[in-house]
Amino acid sequence: MADKVKDPICGMEIRPEDAAAKEEHEGRTFYFCSHGCHDTFVKDPHRYGHPAEEHGGHMHH
């Protein structure tokens, strides 16, 4: 049952049950390895909440 998810801040793969924090953004749930990563996400969810592949690798500022 190793259904891992990716921490969008640091890229670390974690299990949801091991996550230090989670956050919902635009209908999706993100999991974080630490409260520090969670804080970073909450400050700027649009920067981290959309995986690069959804933008064709284009990084917008």
Piece in contact with Zn ion (CB under 5 A), picked from 22-30, 33-41, 48-56: 33-41
**Separation between Cα atoms, residue 28 and residue 53, nearest integer Å:** 16
Among 37, 38, 41, 48, binds Zn ion (CB under 5 A): 37
Residue with tokens 């921490």: 7
Binding-site residue total for Zn ion (CB under 5 A)? Answer: 6
Among 19, 23, 31, 33, binds Zn ion (CB under 5 A): 33
Question: Considering the rule CB under 5 A, would residue 23 count as an interface residue with Zn ion?
Answer: no
Q: Which residues contact 14 (CB under 8 A, 6 or more apart)?
A: 4, 5, 6, 7, 31, 32, 33
